Amino acid sequence: MQRLSPLLGRLALVASLATAALTLAPRAARAGNGGKIYVSDVEYGSFSSEKDMQSAIKRQSKTAIKGDGAWNLNFMVFLNAAPGADKINIVYYDVSKKKEQVNFTEVGVKPDQKIVQLNGQSISKDLGFVKGHKYEVRATRLIGGKEKVYAKTTITLK
């Protein structure tokens, strides 16, 4: 039996995590998570049940993320509606002084997807982020030139 390369093994893990998130999507959205983003400094893993997922979210999620000019973020995004497209944006707004967009990341999704597990997002002062500032993080799409918000949260960078 051949062994998978580390990259193929990691890709297989990512695929299984995405499948688990998609499988749990309808029930989790009904559980009151629709429209919310949970953030952790530790990667979210795979879940064997909805209860397992809720427990991990409760245990891992934070509103303040520590870093020294660079921060690693992991998201569990519960969309309040299916995006109806193959991409959404994770957009960061600095809300410490005035609401100003700092950065964004485009994320591939399925049009009917309701949960997006997004591990390993790196932000830094080089990208315009400031230690001590608060940021509103939104999962969005631009539709007809207007931002449609599917989920959001606020975090502080420490």
pLDDT at 3 over 50: no
Distance spanning both ends of the chain, measured CA to CA: 47
Residue at 30: amino acid letter: R
Q: What is the pLDDT of residue 108?
A: 96
Please name every residue paired with 72 in a beta bridge, in sequence order, or none if there are none: 122
Q: pTM for this structure?
A: 0.78
What is the bridge-based pairing of β-strands 87-94 and 100-108?
A: antiparallel
Q: What is the pLDDT of residue 31?
A: 54
pLDDT at 119 over 80: yes
pLDDT at 37 over 80: yes
Q: What is the pLDDT of residue 155?
A: 97
Rounded CA separation 143/113 (Å): 17
Rounded CA separation 69/126 (Å): 8
Please name every residue paired with 33 in a beta bridge, in sequence order, or none if there are none: none
Largest Cα–Cα distance of the chain, in whole Å? 58
pLDDT at 76 over 50: yes
pLDDT at 62 over 70: yes
CB 124 within 8 A of CB 133: no
What the block records as the tokens of 93 is: 């707004």
pLDDT at 26 over 70: no
Neighbouring C-alpha atoms within 13 Å toward the C-beta of 57: 20
Supply the DSSP symbol for 2: P
pLDDT at 6 over 70: no
Please name every residue paired with 71 in a beta bridge, in sequence order, or none if there are none: 123
Domains and CATH numbers, the chain: 6-157 (2.60.40)
Q: What is the pLDDT of residue 7?
A: 40
